[in-house]
Structure 1
Amino acid sequence: MFAAAGRAAGIAAGVLADAVFGDPRRGHPVALFGSGAAALEHRLYRDDRTAGVRHTAALLSSVALLGAVAEWAGRRRGPLAEAACVATATFVALGGTSLCRTGGQMVGLLEAGDVEGARRLLPSLCGRDPSVLDEAGLTRAALESIAENTSDAHVGPLVWAALGGVPAVLVYRAANTLDAMIGNRSPRYLRFGWAAARFDDVVNLPAARLTGLLTLVCAPAVGGSPGAAARAWRRDARKHPSPNAGVAEATFAGALGVRLGGPTQYAHELEIRPTLGDGRTPAVGDLARAVRLSRAVQVAAAAVAVSAACRTGRPASPRR
């Protein structure tokens, strides 16, 4: 009982810390992991899947071991230390507050007509080539990123913190970071990044579906339709090349009454994405609504995670 409550309290404290502070600008552990992953890649890179499997397994198993040791050490020091360990790991893994802050900055730039400023900001949200995007393209790219990263940067960490504690949430965040680094379809990473991309797909399956459900629930908060979100999910999500991003983007499109998808230019290729939703082309006002919808989903996900942690946390050991 006490251990489960400690995990729940730790998750709640981590969410509160993220809401207050957002991502640290310097010395973020995720950035340190990225630097280590890049250094290991320099040593292990080969243009084949086997090398990519070794690279991914080495990094994620190291993070899992670090998380397990940290949780064990916190547990030995008592419930407060264990809760603090969960809180720290959850805070490190969450990125929802920074996501919405960046989305709000994008709204402000586009409302002011500062297309060049919006182009400079877009890489903070996604990996598309901003130089080829006009206001409409920037709006669509930012909205799709807000939808996808509501799942990846917020709901996903909370799901794994609730289910598996410190090791699980740290491995999830490391997998998500590694996928962003090498999980793309560029010539360099098509084979080497295969394992990272597939592992990220697997660990994001529950988070994406929870994001879809919570988007349905929260749609009325931004004047949206749960029914339209459900129809877009059922009809369009499976068309997306990602089994998880498709759920988040389709439900956001339906909830907001907009149409997403279409030509999507990355540095390494042009993708023709399927159409998600059957509404209008998104405007800047719709992007502002997407940011509010993301915040609502984040709050709902935190409530679900804390409730789940109370039921799934490690039972307390009986005292002798």
Structure 2
Amino acid sequence: MEQAALGWPTAGALALAVATALLWDVRFGEPPARLHPVVGMGWMLERLGRRVAPMPGAPVPPARVFAAGMLASTLGAAGVVALAWVPQALLSHAPWWVQGLALGLLLKPLLAWRMLREEVAAVEAALARGLQAGRTQVARLVSRDVQALDEAGVRQAALSTLAENLNDSVVAPLFWFALAGLPGAALYRWANTADAMWGYRGVRGGRDWTFAGRWAARADDALSWLPARLTAVLLLAASGRSVPWRALRAQARRTPSPNGGWPMGALALRLGVRLVKPGVYALNEAARLPQPVDTARALAWCDRAVAGWGALLVAGLAGVAMLGRPS
């Protein structure tokens, strides 16, 4: 029988955990906010941010602000990793199926496909009721000012968020879980949440994040680099057709993020639509505006991408488990 090292689950347990987390997500969705670890991460980052980011115009040396942001983000990450390691270590000598089921339940809050899917579908349903309803709904997904968006702009914002968060909320957490167990998934979600809350150039929420959030943004960029490109490949495979890699790379380079443009560019090219965030990026700019049918197609492709990614991970980890068994 495959044996686990102290603090490290067996490959079979990891495979079962991935399947358990995805099935639980599809069936039950998110846990209550008071029990949600990502909500807890956000709470902690909000409070740390008040100490790290200065008020606009405050006479604080940029190097000092950067160092404070780096230290706070790193210490927070260390704490999250330690908290995730404890239950994994406690489970390490349990039967593999106990490890897998328990770790799957602990992994689930670190990924969120059902919620993302429902929120994007809700934007399309709201647009059917009226433009203002669509703006109100998409404001739940994006941080940009939505009041100037027309119907196409609302749909573009929803589709861009769908593609980018397919990586952030599903592909990347599972990638890091497969490589580094529960601490890996927790570390990724901390970095991603820190980037979402701190990774701004300029003033947001009455604080200047130009230097305070720079380390958090770079950490998220590093951890998302490979998963973002995998997400683009998964989207193309799920759509049933590829696009020239050179064309995809050219679109990906149009975004300020080194990662977000890959899944967004893949979706824009395969749908044959343009995805624009005014003043920030324009993907597949010469194409048509997205229509309601494009949202339905994108959601169907993402469903397949999530299922395919889960199946690949489960099969790969189960294969490792089989190879590890004595003959």
Q: When the two structures are superposed, what TM-score results if normalisation uses the length of structure 2? A: 0.86
Deviations along 1:181-225, one digit per CA (max 9) or x if unpaired, are: 1112233111100011000011111211111111121113xxxx4
Letter of the aligned partner of 2:29 in structure 1?
G
Secondary structure in 2 matching 1:151:
helix
1:119 offset after TM fit, Å? Answer: 1.5
Q: Higher helix proportion, which one? A: 1
User: For residues 219 and 268 of structure 2, what CA distance do their matches in structure 1 show?
Assistant: 26
Question: Given the alignment of the two structures, is residue 234 of structure 1 paired with residue 249 of structure 2, yes or no?
Answer: yes
Question: Given the alignment of the two structures, is residue 10 of structure 1 paired with residue 17 of structure 2, yes or no?
Answer: yes
**Which residue of structure 1 lines up, in the alignment, with residue 6 of structure 2?**
none
**Which residue of structure 2 lines up, in the alignment, with residue 93 of structure 1?**
110
User: For residues 84 and 71 of structure 1, what CA distance do their matches in structure 2 show?
Assistant: 12
**Which residue of structure 1 lines up, in the alignment, with residue 74 of structure 2?**
57
Question: Given the alignment of the two structures, is residue 307 of structure 1 paired with residue 315 of structure 2, yes or no?
Answer: yes
**Contact persistence 1:254–1:278 (CA under 8 A):** no
User: For residues 66 and 81 of structure 1, what CA distance do their matches in structure 2 show?
Assistant: 19
- Which of 251, 257, 274 matches 1:259? 274
**Contact persistence 1:236–1:277 (CA under 8 A):** no
**Contact persistence 1:239–1:274 (CA under 8 A):** yes
**Which residue of structure 2 lines up, in the alignment, with residue 204 of structure 1?**
224
Provide closer, same or farther for how the CA distance between residues 94 and 218 of structure 1 changes in structure 2, counting only shifts above 3 A: same
* Further displaced range: 280-289 or 302-311: 302-311
Specify every segment of 5 or more residues in structure 1 that has no aligned partner in the other structure, as ranges. Answer: 264-270
User: For residues 312 and 130 of structure 1, what CA distance do their matches in structure 2 show?
Assistant: 47
Secondary structure in 1 matching 2:91:
helix
**Which residue of structure 2 lines up, in the alignment, with residue 79 of structure 1?**
96
Secondary structure in 2 matching 1:75:
coil
Q: When the two structures are superposed, what TM-score results if normalisation uses the length of structure 1? A: 0.88
Secondary structure in 1 matching 2:197:
helix
Provide closer, same or farther for how the CA distance between residues 69 and 90 of structure 1 changes in structure 2, counting only shifts above 3 A: same
**Contact persistence 1:13–1:87 (CA under 8 A):** yes
Specify every segment of 5 or more residues in structure 2 that has no aligned partner in the other structure, as ranges. Answer: 4-9, 55-61
Letter of the aligned partner of 2:142 in structure 1?
C
1:296 offset after TM fit, Å? Answer: 1.4
User: For residues 186 and 59 of structure 1, what CA distance do their matches in structure 2 show?
Assistant: 23
**Contact persistence 2:164–2:260 (CA under 8 A):** yes
Deviations along 1:268-317, one digit per CA (max 9) or x if unpaired, are: xxx3313336421112221222122211111111112223333567x979
1:259 offset after TM fit, Å? Answer: 1.4
**Contact persistence 1:162–1:306 (CA under 8 A):** no
Question: What is the total number of aligned residue pairs between the two structures?
Answer: 305
Secondary structure in 1 matching 2:276:
strand
* Further displaced range: 274-283 or 177-186: 274-283
Question: Given the alignment of the two structures, is residue 103 of structure 1 paired with residue 120 of structure 2, yes or no?
Answer: yes
Secondary structure in 2 matching 1:132:
coil
Percent sequence identity over aligned pairs: 31
**Which residue of structure 1 lines up, in the alignment, with residue 57 of structure 2?**
none
Letter of the aligned partner of 2:155 in structure 1?
T
1:58 offset after TM fit, Å? Answer: 1.0
Secondary structure in 1 matching 2:30:
coil
1:257 offset after TM fit, Å? Answer: 1.1
**Contact persistence 1:89–1:170 (CA under 8 A):** no
Deviations along 1:217-254, one digit per CA (max 9) or x if unpaired, are: 1113xxxx4236x4541331122211111101110011
- Which of 32, 42, 46 matches 2:50? 42
